[in-house]
Structure formats: C-alpha cells, structure tokens
Structure 1
Amino acid sequence: MNPILISLTVLGSAALLSGCKEEHHAEVPALRPVLSVVVTPQTARTLGFAGTVEPRYKSDIGFQVLGRIVSRDVNVGDAVKKGDRLARLDPVAYELAVRSAHADLASASARLENAAATEARQRKLLSQDISNQAQFDAATQVHESALAGITRATAELEKAEEQLSYTELHADFDGVVTTVAAEPGQVVQPGQTVVSVARPEIREAVVDVPESVGRDLKPQARFDIALQVDPSVRAAGSVREIAPQADPATRTRRVRITLDSPAKSFRLGTTITATVTTPASPGIELPATALLELDGKTLVWVVDPATRSVSTQDVTIAARDRSFVRILDGLAAGSRVVVAGVNSLTPGQTIKIPDGAFQ
C-alpha cells in the first residue's frame, strides 16, 4: 500500500479517537459544590450578642457658670471621692464681683446707720413739738428704704459668693472618671460637660439585639454573660430595661442587663458576650440567602439524598429579617436545603456534598 495513504489513515483514526474522548468528557457535567443544611424545627433557640460592661449610674458634670478652665485635676480612669475637686475655672472675675458686693453692703450699712439716726432724732423732735409729722414720716421712709437696701446688698453678696464657689467643680459621689470632655484653657458654657463620673458598684451588660429578638424578650429575662478575653469568667444577669423603640439606623434595640455579683474582672468598658435561651417560634429558621424568588413564588432548593440532585419547593414565610427567615409550611423536618448560590442552580442539577453528609 502506498505509504502516504497509510499515514493519512492513521492520522484520521487518531483524530476520530480524540474527538470521541472530548465528546465523552463533555457529556459528564461537573458537580456543583454548594452549602446546605439539614432543617429541624426548634423548640428553643440560644442567641449570643456582643456588648460592653457599663455603669447603671453615670453623671455628666459641668460648671454652672461661664469661664475658662485653668486646671483639670482628673483623667480618665481616676477614682474620686465625694467632694474631690475635678476642675477649676479662672476665678478673677467672680472674686471681683464678691469684692464689689462687699462694698455695696458696706455702703448700705452706712446709709442704714444714718437713716436710723435721722429717724431717732425726728422722733425726739416730734415728741417735743419741734418737728411735724410729715418730717418724721419722711425719716421713717428713708430708714425703711435703708433696711431694704441692706437686704438687697446681702443677697447680692451671697449670690456673688455662690457663683465664686461654682468656679470649682467637685464630685458629688464616689466613682470613677469615664470620660473627659474639656481641657485647660478651654472656655466652657454653663452646663457643658467637662468630665463624666460613673458609680462602679452597680454594673450592667449593655447589648444591642435585633428588633425581632427584642420584641420577644421579657423583663427579668435571664442572660449568661462571659468575658470575650476570657470566656471562662462568667456571670448571670437579668434584663432591667429594653428600649421601647428600635434604632432607626441599625433596627436594633438596646437591652440593659443587671449583673448578679460580677467578678472584679468585669471592669467598666470590658467587652462581653451575652447569651440568652428563648422559646422558638413555630416554623423552621433558615438563612435569608436560602430563598429563591421566582415568578411571584417563594422557593427553596431541596436536595434528593438518593440522586444528590436539587429541586424547588414552595414554602410559606412566617417572618423574616435581614439575616434569617422562618418557614411556616412547605418543608419537612430532616430535609436538606441549599443555603447559598440558589440563583445559579437548575432543576435536576447534581450537586457536590461532602461525604458522610447524609449519614
């Protein structure tokens, strides 16, 4: 046979075999890996939230008068006793006001002495029929006016002295300085916060919970509190306050939990994890990513354990939030549901699930 014909025949056979192999490989679809969970109805659910330890009682303290701060005697973390000085304003203007009030009182006292002497003299002259009643009444009026002047000058002096005392800021109770809001040299307005002092003897765990959880919480609900830096250090607590409305930005409610005899390591500002167990609502909870919205229907992908293929299942939603949905009807306990990548699956598609997942 012609060698050229033999070579062409061999090349054609090789190409045909190669094409068959490629066609064979194309017929075997790759298994798609997905995330899935086995659904089970819950009788109770345990939820954990991050938060911080805060005092129940905290005061934002400021001066009652306008002035420039000349000294601040405390910093954040300092322990203070009742009566300790926290800060001081420049007292010069208020000291001058006190001196002026003293001078006014001295002037009023001199006028009172003169008016009293004049009244006594007019009374004597009137008794001797040397003076008339009109002159005596005028002297009496001047004397009464001088007495009123003394009262006014005394009040002005007390007011000036009280305002002078306001130039020093003192602690009203034993506590710990938690924040400092003003520095020496700064001019502060009356009532402007200079330092915040907290009472450390009553501590609370403060957490923000989703609105759906906050609605179901009851006053006095029990929480288990653990330090994030050392979860073995724990304390119990009960709900003291639940915010009546959710925060408009985060849609969470602030919950304050009073700690029962916490350890010293539960310091103010420490981060904690608060865990609570609540009765589960009817239905099955799934991540919100498990839902497939198609043609006005709400669906989920259910995995067939025999063929490891997926199919859609209509479900009824009882409630939903940003993270989770609660399925009221349409799923049976023990079903395996795809929870990620639901928009890229097709009915009957075979998926990849870790070995032993169905055991």
Structure 2
Amino acid sequence: MPFVSSRPCQDGAGVASLPGRRRPAEKDPFVTARRTAVVLALALSASLLSACKEDKPPAPPVPSVLVLAAAGAAGSEGPSYSGEVRARHEADLAFRVGGKLVARLVDVGAQVRPGTVLARLDPADLQLNVAAVRAQVSAAESDLALAKADLDRYTALARDKFVSPAMLDAKTTAWQAAAARLDQARAQLAVSGNQAAYGTLASDRAGVVTAVLAEPGQVVAAGQAVVRVARPDEKEVLVYVPEGQLAAFKAANSLAVTLWARPDLRLRGRLRELAPAADPATRTYAARVSLPDAGADVQLGMTAQVALAEDAGVPGILVPLSAVIERGQGPEVWVVAQGKALRRPVKVAAYREDGVVLAAGVAVGEAVVAVGAHKLVAGQAVRPLPFKTEAR
C-alpha cells in the first residue's frame, strides 16, 4: 500500500500530495510587473504618435461677392440739395412797447393787408401813463401862467424903479423855464400817446401770416417778435451747400428745382444769394435760389430739391453707395481682377440719390464690389457674382 502523506501543502490549500502528479508552477510577481510596464509603454507610445500626427485642414471656401461694371456718370445731373420754399420778403412784427398780450387776432395762414390788426396789449398801464403826463402838462401850464403874471408885475415895478434890474431878470428867467417845462410836458404827452397807440399791433404790408410767436397772456418785451408776415409774390428755396461742393454750385449756369409734393413740376432756379461764411455748427453755406416761374401752386414751406442742371453735370464714375467704404484712410472701393480682390483709394466727386460719383480711382468697365467689400482682404480670392441693380 503506497504511503500517503497527510501533511497539508505549504500553500495552505489543504490538498494532499499524490505520488506521480506535479504541482502547478507558482506566478512570479516580478514577471507580472514587467509585463504590465511593457504594455503601458506601448500604449503611451501609440497615444503620443497619434497626437503628433497632424490632420490636414480642409481648404477654406472661396467667398462670393456681388460686383457690377462701373458706369460713366457724365451727362447726368450733379448733386442735389434739399431745402424749403420761403418768401423772399418776410418780417417778424413786434410791439414797440412792452406789456401783457391780451388778444391775438390772426392765425397761421391768415391773409393780411396794410392796417390789419394782428394783436393787442393790455392798455391799462399805457392809458395811466398818458393821464399822468397830461397832468404834468396841466401843471406846467399853471406854472407858466404864474411865471408870466410875476414877470408882468415886476416889469411894471421895474419901470417905476421899484425893483432892481436883477430881480426883473430872475422873473424873466423863471418865465422862460416854465415855458420850456410846458414844451417838455407836451412832448412827453405826445410820446405817451404814441406808446398807447403802439399797444395795438397792425400789419404794415400785405401778405400771409407764416408764424405766430406769442400767445395771449404772455408778457412780451418791446421788440419781441409776435407774428411773422411774408409776401408770397416772390418765392425762393433755402438750401445749405457743403463747402466741398461750393465751387460747383457757384459755377452752375442754371439750377433745376423739383417739389416733393409735385414731382411732375420742374422749375427753373437762379442763385440769388450765397452766404459769405459757413454755419459754425453744420459747416455749410446757406444759399437762396429764386423761383421766377413759381405759381400759386408752389406753397410756402414745401419741400424742394435743388440740383445742378444737366449742362453742369459732374463727370466721373457712378458706383452704388454700398461700394464706397471708409476705414480711416479715406474713401475706397474694391475691384475684382483675375479672381482676386484689390483695394482702390478713390476721390468722391458727389453723392447722389442713385449712387456716388467718383472723380478718380476706378475706370469704366471695372468690376466693382457692390456688397461685402468691408470683409475683404487685399489679394483674397473671390468668386464674383453679378449685382442685379446696376448703377446708372
């Protein structure tokens, strides 16, 4: 009978050793750690290689821009200026004295004639002033009568040698002074009467009331405008011209005037007056364009457009307003040549309703970028697309 050992195994498994059977080899911890390190190193190398590998970015798309062919602007009208129809002769009427306005008898648009009463002041103070001056006249008349009586008595006494010549001279001087005071009082009475009459404001001309500048109950000073009256027989348009276009405006042989309310009506204008100095706020020059052919349908206050006539047109290249951009270095446009965007500094001759007239920088027929020029870079490849609205 074979011997079977009953001792437990050293690994504590409690399995009896059998003859003829080999025990499994134990795992070496150093071998396991070495294998783990190799696996980690390979994984790290693979991740580093994948990170160092650069992906090729896709080519950026070529942007599309709207372009049009630059057209000539010669033969068209020059710059236009918005203005208002005014009367050539208009005046602000005011009281010659101050006081409280108690009545205004006209409104805007009223037709007036010479002598038409426009407004009235409170007459109480003016009448009291007349009464006070009239009392001064009465007192001066009494003083003059007394001085004349004294002079007559002293003249008789001096004839009989009862008074000295010096006393007679004093009475004569007193009589002359009393007469002068009476003249002064009478003059003041006349002035007071005029001032009382000035409490009624009447028109001194025929015309139409274009503005009311004071209301009843308001205290107005002497000379403060109350009503504006204009003569509608001679009409003109008031416009403001920029200093850069002043020379062309002055050199224009004739001016074309159109009305916003009557676009079918075209009037001939003539430059009548041009301000010698620019307005300090707007830096523009006030110009008055007379309308010799204006009829009754041309009303005061209408919006008018004044443009240089065709014979004074501004030559150049006409481009859309959106094509001209400003980046701090002056106006510029962008053109497309051989599929690339090119920057062109330009000189602006005039701004019009249908576009911008360029005096230099672009030639007729060049492809001008009409939309999207502010996003372009010099030399950038672009794909031109036709712009539907052409400059004319």
Q: Who is 2:142 aligned against?
A: 110
> Superposed, which structure 2 residues align to 1:129-168 within 5 Å?
129-168=161-200
| Matching of residue 228 in structure 1 with residue 260 in structure 2 | yes
SS of alignment partner, residue 266 of structure 1:
coil
| Residue of structure 1 equivalent to 2:66 | 34
Shift of residue 162, structure 1, vs aligned partner: 1.6
- Alignment partner of 2:365 out of 321, 334, 348: 334
1:312 and 2:337 correspond: no
**Equivalent pair of 2:68/2:387 in contact (CA under 8 Å):** no
Name the CA distance, whole Å, in 1 between partners of 2:329 and 2:240.
Answer: 34
Q: CA deviation at 1:315?
A: 4.3
The letter of the residue matching 1:311 is A
Q: Give a deviation string over 1:227-272, Cα, whole Å, max 9, x none.
A: 2122222321101122334444444332210001311111111122
Counterpart residue number, 1:64: 96
- CA distances 1:64-85 after superposition (whole Å, capped 9, x unpaired): 2221011011110001111211
Equivalent residue, structure 2, for 1:348: 381
Gaps (5+ residues) in structure 2? 1-57
- Structure 2 residue aligned with 1:242: 274
Question: CA separation of 1:35/1:197 partners in 2, compared to 1, >3 Å: closer, same or farther?
Answer: farther
Offset at residue 50 of structure 1 (A) = 2.5
Partner of 1:302: 335
2: CA distance, partners of 1:132 / 1:109? 27
Find the residue that maps to 2:269 and give its secondary structure: strand
Distance 1:259 1:109 in 2: 61
CA distance in structure 2 between the partners assigned to 1:356 and 1:63 by the alignment: 59
Aligned residue in 2 for 1:73:
105
| Aligned CA distance change for structure 1 residues 219 and 80 (closer, same or farther; 3 Å) | farther
What's 2:298 paired with? 266
Identical amino acids, percent of aligned pairs = 33
Q: Tell me whether 1:183 sits opposite 2:215 in the alignment.
A: yes
Structure 1 Cα separation of the partners of residues 328 and 230 of structure 2: 57
Q: CA RMSD in A?
A: 3.3
Per-residue deviation at 1:129?
Answer: 2.4
Rounded Cα–Cα distance in structure 2 between residues aligned with 1:188 and 1:355: 61
SS of match in other structure, 1:83:
coil
Which stretch shifts more, 174-183 or 313-322?
Answer: 313-322
Matched, 1:275 2:307: yes
Q: Match for residue 41 of structure 2?
A: none
- Counterpart Cα distance in 1 of 2:274 and 2:258: 20
Q: Distance in 1 between matches of 2:306 and 2:331?
A: 34
Select which of 225, 233, 246 maps to 1:193: 225
Contact 1:37–1:338 (Cα < 8 Å) also in 2: no
- Counterpart CA distance in 1 for 2:265 and 2:388 is 38
How high is the TM-score relative to the length of structure 2? 0.73
Q: What secondary structure, in the 3-state scheme, does the structure 2 residue paired with 1:199 have?
A: strand
Q: Which moved more, 1:309-318 or 1:234-243?
A: 309-318
Counterpart amino acid of residue 336 in structure 2: V
How many aligned positions are there? 328
Contact kept? 1:219, 1:240, Cα under 8 Å: no
Structure 2 CA distance for partners of 1:244 and 1:287, relative to 1, 3 Å: farther
- Structure 1 residue ranges without an equivalent (≥5): 1-25
User: How far is the alpha carbon of 1:31 from its aligned partner?
Assistant: 6.6
TM-score (norm 1): 0.80
Shift of 1:316: 5.6
Q: What is the SS of the residue equivalent to 2:209?
A: strand
2:160 paired residue among 116, 128, 131: 128
Q: CA deviation at 1:105?
A: 0.6
Larger radius of gyration: 2
Structure 1 residue 57, shift from structure 2 partner: 1.3
1:8 match: none
Distance 2:340 2:161 in 1: 126
Rate the CA distance shift 1:132–1:299 in 2: closer, same or farther, 3 A: closer
Paired with 1:149 and 1:219, the residues of 2 have a C-alpha distance of 65
Deviations for 1:200-232, whole angstroms, at most 9, x for unmatched residues? 111101223333222321277421222212222
1:31·1:352 contact (CA, 8 Å) conserved in 2? no
Measured in 2, the distance between the counterparts of 1:210 and 1:161 equals: 52
- Distance, in Å, in 1 between the alignment partners of 2:359 and 2:252 is 29
Q: Determine if contact 1:220/1:240 at 8 Å carries over to the other structure.
A: no
